[in-house]
Amino acid sequence: MKLLMIDDDTGLCELLSEYLTAQGFEVQSVHDGEQGLKLALKNDYALILLDVMLPTLDGFDVLKQLRQKKLTPVIMLTAKGEDFDRIFGLELGADDYIPKPFNHRELLARVKAITRRIEHINSINITTTNKLLVNDIAINLGAREASIDEQLLTLTGTEYEILALLVKNAGEVVSKEKISEDVLGRRLASFDRSIDMHVSNIRKKIAEHITSERIKTMRGTGYVFIQGE
């Protein structure tokens, strides 16, 4: 699988490229935001590793412009302790984040969790018509799409996975821990806001079509997809 790394730390790019290549990935590295955005829009990558602090165009601007045209999975590389960067990146549509400095094995685990999902998607015949319909939200499990009144929701892969999981368990509480393990492929860490932000993004996209609440927060527990009006 082909990965794009956008980071101005050339030494880190070289080390990670060597490490990920040894794990079977093809890695292309660029060191400024503007060039990275051009490559991300022009080519099809399995995943993008995107640093926040970049010359010419910062990581947030790259992600914002990318999400206007493509849903390529993105892992944001953020400064350790910068909660704002993590939350803002997730709000803009990042699939996950990892704070610097990070352990190479942890990064590899995050990358593999997302790329395994991509491999699964590519192995599915999209003509499959296995669908779920709860209230007015339809989940097409074959095409991996969600819609409301036949209007597609523009969801990232992570957002789709979370919504599908909630709909499959409509009327039941799904814990944040289960969502993190099933969708992100990792255990939920203390004070991790990633699931909250993904759900917030899903709610906003649903609200563009309907005003009634579909995903209810169960404080301290998780989320439940409302089964009936």
Which residues have a Cβ under 8 Å from the Cβ of 123 and sit 6 or more positions away? none
Helix%, strand%, coil% for the chain, nearest 5: 40, 20, 35
> What is the structure's pLDDT at 229?
58
**Total structural domains within the chain:** 2
Higher pLDDT, 147 or 129: 147
* pLDDT attached to residue 48: 98
Examine the domain organization and report whether 142 and 115 are in the same domain.
no
Q: What is the percent of the chain where pLDDT is above 90?
A: 72
- Residue 109 and residue 116 in contact, taking contact as beta carbons nearer than 8 Å: no
Q: Which range is least confidently modeled, 136-145, 148-157, 192-201, 209-218?
A: 136-145
Q: With H, G, I as helix, E, B as strand and everything else as coil, classify residue 141.
A: coil
Query: Domain of 211: which CATH number?
Result: 1.10.10.10
| Residues 7 and 118 placed together within one structural domain of the fold | yes
Q: What percent of the chain has pLDDT over 70?
A: 95
Instruction: Taking the CA atoms of 207, 62, 194 and 20 in sequence, report the sign of the dihedral they define.
Output: positive
Task: Tell me: do 137 and 102 sit in the same domain.
Answer: no
Is residue 200 over pLDDT 80?
Answer: yes
The SS3 call for residue 37 is helix
**pLDDT recorded at residue 142:** 79
pLDDT tens for residues 88-116?
Answer: 999 999 999 999 989 999 999 999 999 88
70 and 117 co-located in one domain: yes
Residues 104 and 23 in one domain: yes
Res 20: pLDDT: 96
Q: pLDDT tens, 4-18?
A: 999 999 999 999 999
Res. 194: pLDDT tops 90:
yes
Provide mean pLDDT across the span 182-197. Answer: 89
pLDDT score at 19: 96
Nearest to 47 by CA among 113, 142, 123: 113
Do 11 and 84 lie in a common domain? Answer: yes
CATH code, domain carrying 60: 3.40.50.2300
- Range of weakest confidence among 16-25, 134-143, 150-159, 170-179: 134-143
Residue 80 has pLDDT above 90, yes or no: no
CB 172 within 8 Å of CB 224: yes
Q: Indicate if the pLDDT at residue 25 is higher than 70.
A: yes
- Of 73, 102, 123, the residue at which a domain comes to its end is 123
Asked whether residue 111 falls in the same domain as residue 14, the answer is yes
Residues 97 and 190 in one domain: no
Q: Are residues 93 and 195 in the same domain?
A: no
Stretch 184-205: mean pLDDT: 92
Last residue of one domain, picked from the residues 123, 148, 170 = 123
Q: Which residue has the higher pLDDT, 82 or 50?
A: 50
Tell me, yes or no, whether 9 and 118 share the same domain.
yes
Residue 207: which domain range? Answer: 131-225
Chosen domain end from 64, 88, 123: 123
Q: Does pLDDT of 126 surpass 60?
A: no
| Amino acid at the residue 118 | I
Whether residues 65 and 117 share a domain: the answer is yes
Q: Are 175 and 217 in the same domain?
A: yes
**CA-to-CA dists, residue 160 to 140, 199, 211, angstroms:** 10, 10, 20
